[in-house]
Chains A and B, each alone.
Chain A
Amino acid sequence: MNLFQWLTVPILLTLASLEVRAYLKNHQAIHLLRLAIWLTGLVLIVFPGLATAVADLLGIGRGTDLVFYAFMLLSTGGMFYLYGRNYMLRRDVVELARRDALRGATLGTQSPSTEVAASRESENGEGDER
């Protein structure tokens, strides 16, 4: 093993074992996906010729090109995933903002039309005078 392999293999093994532990704990599929990524990286680092062999098999030619394409695909997928997470998180933020807005509703200057609403409210005992 060369220096690079000595440096990266322990890190990838640690990450893989953490994913196994996490999966056994909560059984979320995302841990299996990450485990597959770490193990693939581990195998390709330990057996560099394997990437070239697989690339040949796929008609790509060079192992580095195969790794580059895989990286591009994974990055795109990762960005898509993060966009989705951000999209859903934003919805939650909007819901919180809405609740806050509904709690803080106030009636402006009185007029006949809004007095009707205000009197109804006081009759129902729903509001507090600020």
Chain B
Amino acid sequence: MKSKSPSAGSPSNADHQPSEVWIVIAAYNEAGRIDQTLSSLHSTRHNIIVVDDGSSDPTRELAAKHPVWTLRHPINCGQGATLQTGIDFAVSRGATAIVTFDADGQHDPADLPAMLQPIIEDACDVVLGSRFLGQTVDMPPLRRWILALATWFTRRTSGLRVTDTHNGFRVFSRKAATSIRIRQPRMAHASEILDQIATKGLRYVERPVTIRYTAATLEKGQKTSDAVRVSAQLLAGRIWK
């Protein structure tokens, strides 16, 4: 396997295509699903970054068999920290559009062109995927109810007119990616991103996406009880800036 090692933080924009798209995938113990997720993204022909968040399984090794960039945190830092690492890398490589995509196969690559279009047209800075504008497959009713509550809370606190929250399928323009700084290392990063979109006055739109739930993704994904933990993390983030 050939591999290249970049110099850290070497932004070089002049020689990049105007619409260079980088897909950032945060992966933690995804050995069972990363292969399928990456295979499904091959046809997009975009640059892909897999950031292994200190997995104890061969997630990185499996990802490295694909034509993608792989990075690895030496320890488990959390999804928010992992996405920021991927975004930093993409920005340093001259990305003009950065997609965040879940490693567990919940997202549908077929939604990607419609997600990218507003960024390519410079119609907005951030595109947020919405499962409630699109569709969900096998979503538990309790999860739907909790997300509806979280969305209502987000609308009240951030002022954003969103229909979904904590959806990991997003696209950032380069401007947005350099403007937003994810400081919440764990689950609360999703709310933090929305807060920063509001406070920094970034232009955003929502696009319908499909989210597929399986027993495995429900087992590993956010639990209903995590709502309290996310609130505590957000509060801590506001106290200790």
Contacts and interface: CB of A to CB of B under 8 A. Distances in A.
Interface of A: 83-84, 87-88, 90-91, 93-94, 97-114, 117-118, 120-124, 126-130
A109 B236 contact: no
A107 B2 contact: yes
Interface in B15-49: 15-16, 42, 45-47, 49
Contacts of B16: 120
Nearest to A117: B47
Given A83-B236, A108-B1, A108-B66, A98 B73 contact: yes
B239 interface: yes
Given A98-B73, A102-B9, A107 B4 contact: yes
Contacts of A98: 73, 77, 81, 84-85, 88
| A interface, over-half SS | helix
Interface string B167-182: 0000000000000000
Contacts of B64: 106, 108-109
Nearest to A84: B240
8 contacts: A97-B81, A99-B8, A101-B51, A104-B72, A105-B70, A106-B64, A108-B63, A110-B67
Contact of A105 (B6, B46, B63, B236): B6
A109 B63 CA distance: 9
Name the residue in B8, B10, B185 with the highest tally of chain A Cβ atoms < 10 Å from its Cβ: B8
Interface string B49-78: 101001000000001111111111111011
A100 B7 contact: no
